[in-house]
């Protein structure tokens, strides 16, 4: 039985982790078994650049925090070595950083992820990583709105030119 002091520290860690999970836009849970120090450092640097919080987490602490944050479905992947990457404001950032890292290095494996309070499997995390950034999606959408108007202007201009040729 752990001492009261150690138990209080673990309970505080669960409370803090619960708040991080609740406040996160998205997160990815990784199995980091087999990663070497150089690759781990590179991965941590990429997470830091993207504004993502990354840490190795005890499965038992993450299990309690996930249940408190209504992410109990994560329980089934919480075995073996576990690390957690959380983004407070970017839904796609953790998935993109992990997927980019995995293209060059297979020493980590995606266990699961979550975004907007929903747990997703590893395949969904990879699919999320392939979504273009928000700015690109907006510009594509605006381009598609603009396309019919541009086509109409070109057609009207061609009619005007034809009428000028017939009149002149």
- Each residue's pLDDT, cut to its tens digit, for the chain (168 residues) gives 668 888 888 889 899 999 999 999 999 999 998 899 999 999 999 999 999 999 999 999 999 999 999 998 998 999 999 999 999 888 889 999 999 999 888 889 999 999 888 899 988 888 888 877 777 778 878 777 777 878 777 888 888 888 888 876
Looking at the structure, do residues 74 and 137 belong to the same domain, yes or no? no
Looking at the structure, do residues 143 and 101 belong to the same domain, yes or no? no
pLDDT of the residue at 29? 95
| CB contact set of 105 (below 8 Å; sequence gap of 6+) | 35, 39, 42, 43
Looking at the structure, do residues 140 and 125 belong to the same domain, yes or no? no
Of 82, 50, 40, which is closest to residue 65 (Cα–Cα)? 82
Looking at the structure, do residues 80 and 158 belong to the same domain, yes or no? no
CATH for 102: 3.30.70.1730
Looking at the structure, do residues 112 and 127 belong to the same domain, yes or no? yes
Looking at the structure, do residues 106 and 154 belong to the same domain, yes or no? no
Looking at the structure, do residues 111 and 156 belong to the same domain, yes or no? no
Supply the DSSP string of 12-44, one letter for each residue.
Answer: HHHHHHHHHHHH-SEEEEEE-TT--HHHHHHHH
* C-beta of residue 21 within 8 angstroms of C-beta of residue 65: yes
| Domain housing 73 | 4-131
Domain count, the chain: 2
Q: What's the pTM value of the predicted model, to 2 decimals?
A: 0.75
Q: What number of other Cβ atoms are within 10 A of residue 11's Cβ?
A: 12
Looking at the structure, do residues 124 and 136 belong to the same domain, yes or no? no
State the Rg of the chain over Cα.
24
pLDDT of the residue at 149? 79
Of 126, 91, 90, 132, which is closest to residue 108 (Cα–Cα)? 126
Of 21, 50, 32, which is closest to residue 116 (Cα–Cα)? 21
pLDDT of the residue at 168? 65
| CB contact set of 153 (below 8 Å; sequence gap of 6+) | none
Looking at the structure, do residues 91 and 164 belong to the same domain, yes or no? no
pLDDT of the residue at 61? 92
pLDDT of the residue at 154? 85
Looking at the structure, do residues 167 and 100 belong to the same domain, yes or no? no
Looking at the structure, do residues 85 and 152 belong to the same domain, yes or no? no
Looking at the structure, do residues 118 and 139 belong to the same domain, yes or no? no
List residues bridging with 118 in a β-sheet.
115
């Amino acid at each position: 039985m752990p001492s009261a002091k150690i138990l209080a520290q673990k309970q505080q860690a669960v409370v803090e982790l619960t708040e991080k999970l609740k406040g996160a836009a998205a997160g990815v849970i990784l199995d980091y078994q087999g990663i070497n120090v150089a690759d781990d450092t590179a991965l941590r640097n990429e997470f830091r650049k993207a504004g993502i919080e990354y840490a190795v987490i005890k499965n038992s602490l993450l299990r309690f925090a996930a249940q408190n944050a209504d992410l109990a479905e994560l329980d089934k992947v919480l075995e073996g070595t576990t690390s957690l990457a959380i983004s407070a404001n970017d839904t796609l950032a953790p998935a993109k950083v992990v997927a980019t890292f995995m293209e060059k290095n297979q020493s980590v494996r995606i266990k699961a992820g979550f975004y907007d309070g929903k747990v997703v499997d590893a395949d969904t995390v990879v699919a999320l990583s392939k979504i273009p950034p928000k700015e690109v999606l907006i510009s594509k959408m605006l381009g598609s709105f603009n396309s019919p108007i541009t086509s109409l202007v070109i057609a009207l201009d061609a009619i005007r030119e034809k009428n000028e040729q017939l009149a002149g």
